[in-house]
Amino acid sequence: MDPTQVIIRPVVSEKSFVLAEAGKYTFRVHDRAHKTQIRQAIEQLFDVKVLEVRTASVKAKPKRRGHTSGRTRTWKKAIVQVRPGDTIPIFRGLEPLE
């Protein structure tokens, strides 16, 4: 799998900004990607050294719009810890809203 297919997009939330200050970055990843593929993709795309990768499956939530009900999609996220001193430029300069 190509590194651009493994990493879909960064997760933008208050929790992800707090983790980014500690050198941990959160990404939405392909459902079938495993930790080794995620590590290699991050190292190739952002030229950083990955120390640890943690993954989690985000469950679907029920949603309603009027009389119609449904569910959101399930997706997989990865929290990647990089070596101290390394940063990922996507998160640089972004501040959480207060």
Give domain status of residue 24, yes or no.
yes
CATH of the domain at 45: 3.30.70.330
Give domain status of residue 61, yes or no.
yes
Give domain status of residue 11, yes or no.
yes
Give domain status of residue 33, yes or no.
yes
Q: Which pLDDT tens digits describe the chain residue by residue (98 residues)?
A: 899 999 999 999 999 989 998 999 999 999 999 999 999 999 999 999 999 999 999 999 999 999 999 999 999 999 999 999 999 887 665 555 55
Give domain status of residue 98, yes or no.
no
Q: What is the 3-state secondary structure (H, E, C) of the chain?
A: CCHHHHEEEECCCHHHHHHHHCCEEEEEECCCCCHHHHHHHHHHHHCCCEEEEEEEEECCCEEEECCEEEECCCEEEEEEEECCCCCCHHHCCCCCCC
Please count the structural domains in the chain: 1
Q: What is the pLDDT of residue 1?
A: 86
Give domain status of residue 23, yes or no.
yes
Give the structural domain span for 58: 3-85
Q: What is the pLDDT of residue 94?
A: 53
Q: Kindly report the pTM of this predicted structure.
A: 0.85
Contact 70, 48 (CB under 8 A): no
